[in-house]
Amino acid sequence: MSMESFRDTTRQILENLLNETPKADRYELIEAYTEALTKLYAVESHKLLTEVIEDARTRLDARLSPDPVRQTIAGVQTTIQDIWNSLWK
C-alpha cells in the first residue's frame, strides 16, 4: 500500500539528489530535498489517516446498524484487525 509507494518515491528523490550532487550547492540540495521528503511524508500520512478514519467510520456505522448481520460482520472484522495488529507488535 503506502509503504511501497513511499519507498519508491523516496528512492527516486534520493537518486535525483545523488545525480545532482556534483552540479549544485550542497546546502541548497539538502534544503530542496528535505522539503521534498517532508511533503512526501505529509501526503502519505494524510492518505493513511484518511484510510483509517474511513475504516473506523464504516465499522462504527455497521456496529450501530439495527441489522444483526452487519453487526456480526463488524465484530468479525474487528477481531481480524485485532489479530493482525497483534502480529505486528
- For 44-78, write each residue's pLDDT tens digit: 888 877 887 787 777 777 767 777 777 777 777 77
Query: What domain count does the chain have?
Result: 1
What is the percent of the chain with per-residue pLDDT over 70, rounded to a whole number?
90
pTM attached to this predicted model = 0.53
Mean pLDDT, range 34-39, rounded to an integer: 86
Which pLDDT score, from 0 to 100, does residue 1 have? 45
Question: Domain of 32?
Answer: 2-87
Residue 32 neighbours by CB distance under 10 Å: 16
Mean pLDDT, range 4-31, rounded to an integer: 80
Chain centroid to CA 50:
9
Q: How far lies 32's CA from each of 13, 23, 29, 59, 79, in Å? A: 10, 14, 5, 41, 44
Is residue 89's pLDDT more than 60? no
